[in-house]
Amino acid sequence: MISNELPRWFSGFMFFVVRGSAGVWSIIFPTLLTSLGFMASGTVVITLLAVSLLIGTIWTPNTRGRSLETITEECYTRKKKGQKSMIHLKQ
C-alpha cells in the first residue's frame, strides 16, 4: 500500500526534481554523444528508459475502474490516524 501521509509539498518537489533532471540531461547528452559516440549514448538512453519502465510498472498504484474524483478525494483529503489508503500497488 502507498501511504497518503506524504507532505503536500512533496509532489511539487518531485516535479522540480524531474524537470531539473530533464534540464541537466539536455545539457549532458550532447557532450555524451560527441565523446562516447552514438552506440554508447544510445545504450545509456535505452538503459535509463528500461529502468524508468521497471520503476513505473512496479510502483504505479492500481487505480483501474475508479473515477478521477474518487482518486483525487483520496489523495488530497487528510486521513484519520490509522486509516489505510485505498490505493494498492499492482500485484
The predicted pLDDT at position 41 comes to 93
Nearest by Cα to 2 from 72, 91, 81, 84:
84
- Domain positions in the chain are 10-89
pTM above 0.85, yes or no: no
C-alpha grid cell for residue 15? 516535479
Q: What is the pLDDT of residues 1-43, one digit of tens each?
A: 455 566 777 888 989 999 999 999 999 999 999 999 999 999 9
| Stronger pLDDT, 75 or 36, i.e. the higher one | 36
For residue 61, give Cα distances in angstroms to 4, 24, 46: 12, 28, 24
Residue type, 17: V
Residue 71 C-beta-side C-alpha neighbours within 13 Å: 11
* Percent of the chain topping pLDDT 70: 78
In the structure, what pLDDT confidence band is assigned to residue 74 with cuts at 50, 70 and 90? confident
**Which conformational region is residue 36 in: left (phi greater than 0), alpha (psi within -120 to 50 degrees), or beta?**
alpha
